[in-house]
Amino acid sequence: MALAAAHTRAGIADALATITPALLTPGRSRPPEAMLRAALYRQAFNPARADTDPGPAATAVLAWAWHHCLPLTALAGPQVTRRALDALTLRLDGTRAAAATITRKRAVFRGCLGYAAELGLLEANPLDRITWKLPRSSFAVDPRSAATSAEVQAILAESPRSARN
């Protein structure tokens, strides 16, 4: 990761900070998602800041995450892997992420799992055994941006005139 371009490193950190909360065991005093994700993104997955003091709040959040991490071998279970895949489809506000974002984050996840398998930490890449499709985009039109029937009629009335010119 250290040899990757800055924008690529930021994308990798974002993907890992999105997936990691789904791989933590539930527990009392779980930090708010935004706080957890920020600490993971800014400190845990940022090699440039590895030797810096994250501050007391982030230190507490990262310590909580460290104690609530699932073992790597838990990813061999399809339910755990699916939970991570589902997490990367959502934005912080709970809405669906863009298809390109989901694809990019899934590629990072696949790369991490492949590297773990290469090192012998996992038997194989768990994503190879899961049939998971990119969720379809939910696209809703804001009624305020749609043309009224009168506006549509006016546009259609003008169409033959502009075609003749």
19-60 pLDDT tens trace:
999 999 877 788 888 889 888 888 888 877 777 887 898 889
Task: With CA atoms as reference, report the closest residue to 20 among 54, 78, 64.
Answer: 64
Average pLDDT, the chain: 84
- Look up the pTM and report it: 0.73
Contacts of residue 138, defined as CB under 8 A and 6 or more positions apart, other chains included, come to: 96
Q: Is 32 left (phi over 0), alpha (psi -120 to 50) or beta?
A: beta
67-100 pLDDT tens trace:
999 999 999 889 999 999 999 998 888 888 888 8
> Rounded distance, CA 96 to CA 116, Å?
28
Which three-class secondary structure state does DSSP give residue 139? coil
Residue extents of the structural domains in the chain: 6-133
